[in-house]
A and B are shown apart, each in its own frame.
Chain A
Amino acid sequence: MALELAFKISGGDFSNAGKASSRIKKVLKQLNIDAKSIKKIVVAIYEAEVNVAAHAWKGEVKATVGEENILVVVSDCGPGIENISLAMKPGFSTASKEVREMGFGAGMGLSNIKKNTDELNIESRKGEGTTLTFRCYY
């Protein structure tokens, strides 16, 4: 038995990026998941949400909250990531000046997601979009 949650994100909408992670956080607390795991999950989802807002046009977060783990799929329509292994490098960023001025764009998002998840898969097509799939065990 698992619980499905879905959220939409629009590109450029930083004020609403964070809705999915906050809502999922609430559910995880109700499930009595330990605080450390919650923190890792929430940070990973939040970074992925912000990436959609910062780099893509629109996207969605789908979470499957299970008994042992959570599976999160963040997919977007956007420019895609050309070189995934380069993008994963801490510090690498193509963020625009505007995005940097808002306090994002340190190039730490993807590596943070990697650090906080147990399984991570990134698929991307140039000019079409990106799909991040990750799983965390509690």
Chain B
Amino acid sequence: MDRNTKYHALKVDTEKCFGCTHCMKSCPTEAIRIVDGIAVIDAGRCVDCGNCLRACPVDAIYVVHDGLSQIESYKYRVVLFPSVFIGQFAEVYSEGQIYEALLKLGFTHIFEVEQPVEWLMESIKESRDEVTDGPLISSFCPAIVRLIQCKYPSLVNNISHRKAPHDLAAHFAIQQLKAQGASETEIGIFYITPCSAKMAAVKQPVAEKKSIVTGIINMKDLYNRIMKLIPKHEHIDTTEFRKYLSKEGILWCLPRGETSWYRKKTMAIDGIHNVVKFLERLENNDVPQFDFLELKSCNQGCAGGILLTGNRFLTVERLQKRAARYPRANQITTAEWNKEDVKEKLISEKIEPRPVFVLDENRVRALDKIQKMNKILCQLPGIDCGGCGAPNCHALAEDIILGKARMSSCVFLQKKYVKEQKIKPEKAYQNLEKIWGEKRFDADCNKKGGRNEGF
């Protein structure tokens, strides 16, 4: 894939989208505008956090994925999934039953990605020395990595140059299968993703040339399939697949899942809006010294991932109970495997900043634009209603100087211009239809939205 075009896993279904302001208002990078009655996502700004999908009242935003069809072409069909996957099932289903259903689906090998997680823990701790100034920031959540790249370029060098648990598991799986005599071309690795961010990161790794994974499967989709296939009782022993799984591994993707083993002076933050507030202060040096920061885009970490089914708090609860039954990472023996070989592969390349808020490459012109923008802001009413198709007045001002919108896009200024007879009422109405779509304002009792919301 071209490194300059950012891959995104989220798409807008133009049939379902009816143009409201929910997604636009929830986006942490102001990446969404309404054009011609449809939400349009700016690929440069989107960090794949999935907030827009959560906010959509009509499920018009969806996640693309590869599906299961291609697994048949491999002799060794490995399924990799983060252990949070187990957490979403009701406790009546044992892990063994869930594993059996995965085998029924056609997989030959099952790996929860957080194993042997001690190798990754070691590697991340080693990466501390590579950061010269300020805290080491976890590279676990790809939405946060992208957020830092585009909004906090000065912090890019603080991100750990280590890959994520799925890379660990993929390399470990390959090592194990090769020891059994498999050749690399016979191995298909399928990753079950909890979110659009991981999906985008696996398809187009931030700092890698090529992804290790053969295909990506939507966790929600898989959950539904498993629920159809899940056996009433366990028939086979699948514990061998979980031999290297530990407490730390199971809790990894939850809040404090990384800081709890890193120890020292650490901080864990979940929820991308909370992370934004914190990073603003970190950039000002307005926080105490930390050794390590764990930042996760979703509330309750991956338990709140957009492709999970069920309640995130119940998921956390089940994972915590499950973790209590497992040994600590340092109690697990991996001596028979080649740790150094995998650890070497866990080191990622440099992460580059991708500033997207630059108004103009030329500083003189950029200064000029800011001045114009300030003048425009004097004119706009500051109501932040979203009626112009931009998330707030400031965003509209930015769009205007970038030539993407006009003063008359503002619904209130338009009224004023009509009153002052600067534009004709018909023209004003057309302006609105340009943003919200033709016939959008006709009476329609079956109209979507505006009804089943609020309390």
Contact = CB atoms under 8 A, between A and B. Distances in A.
Contact of B357 (A29, A39, A43, A66): A29
Nearest to B157: A35
Contacts of A31: 358-359, 363, 366-367, 370
Contacts of A2: 367
Q: Which DSSP category, helix, strand, loop or mixed, fits chain B's interface?
A: helix
Given A1-B368, A3-B370, A39 B283 contact: yes
A46 B285 contact: yes
A32 B358 CA distance: 5
B15 interface: no
B331 interface: no
A3 B284 contact: no
Interface in B274-315: 280-281, 283-286, 288
Contacts of A21: 284
Contact of B367 (A39, A43, A67): A67
B437 interface: no
B296 to A, nearest CB: 23
Interface residues of B, number: 26
A39 B285 CA distance: 9
Contact of B353 (A1, A33, A35, A67): A35
A111 B353 CA distance: 29
Contacts of B1: none
Nearest to B156: A35
Interface in A3-46: 3, 18, 21-22, 25-27, 29-33, 35-36, 38-39, 42-43, 46
Interface of B: 153-154, 156, 280-281, 283-286, 288, 353, 355, 357-361, 363-364, 366-371, 374
Interface of A: 1-3, 18, 21-22, 25-27, 29-33, 35-36, 38-39, 42-43, 46, 65-67, 103
Closest 10 interchain pairs by CB? A35-B154, A32-B358, A35-B153, A46-B284, A30-B359, A31-B366, A39-B154, A43-B285, A29-B357, A21-B284
